[in-house]
């Protein structure tokens, strides 16, 4: 069974680069990557916050939030 990886972003340039380079680099044999655009899908802000996401872009893997560089803080997306 594949592990779910969640990539949260908000369409910012930093986010897009991280998505194309880093989220796309994960092993497709082991991970199923879901891309969540928090600017479009504000209903998922609470879920991201519970996972420990403070800013985007961020990748949640094995229950841990990894903030990748800095695009925008979550509070700016509300």
Is residue 72 within 8 A of residue 57, CB to CB? The reply is: no
CA 46 to chain centre: 13
From 11, 12, 16, 17, residue interacting with a copy of itself (rule: CB under 8 A):
17
48 binds a copy of itself (CB under 8 A): no
x-marked contacts with a copy of itself along 53-72 as a string, rule CB under 8 A:
------x-xx-xxxxxxx--
**Binding of a copy of itself by 46 (CB under 8 A):** no
Cα gap 19→43, rounded to integer Å? 21
Does the protein bind a copy of itself through residue 4 (CB under 8 A)? no
Interface pick for a copy of itself out of 22, 35, 51, 74 (rule CB under 8 A): 22
- Measured on CA atoms in the order 66, 70, 71, 76, is the torsion positive or negative? positive
């Amino acid at each position: 069974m594949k592990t779910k990886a969640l990539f949260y972003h908000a369409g910012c340039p930093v986010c897009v680069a991280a998505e194309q380079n880093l989220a796309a680099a994960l092993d497709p044999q082991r991970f199923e990557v879901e891309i969540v655009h928090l600017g479009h899908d504000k209903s998922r802000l609470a879920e991201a916050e519970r996972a420990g996401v403070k800013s985007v872009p961020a990748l949640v893997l094995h229950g841990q939030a990894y903030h990748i560089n800095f695009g925008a803080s979550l509070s700016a997306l509300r």
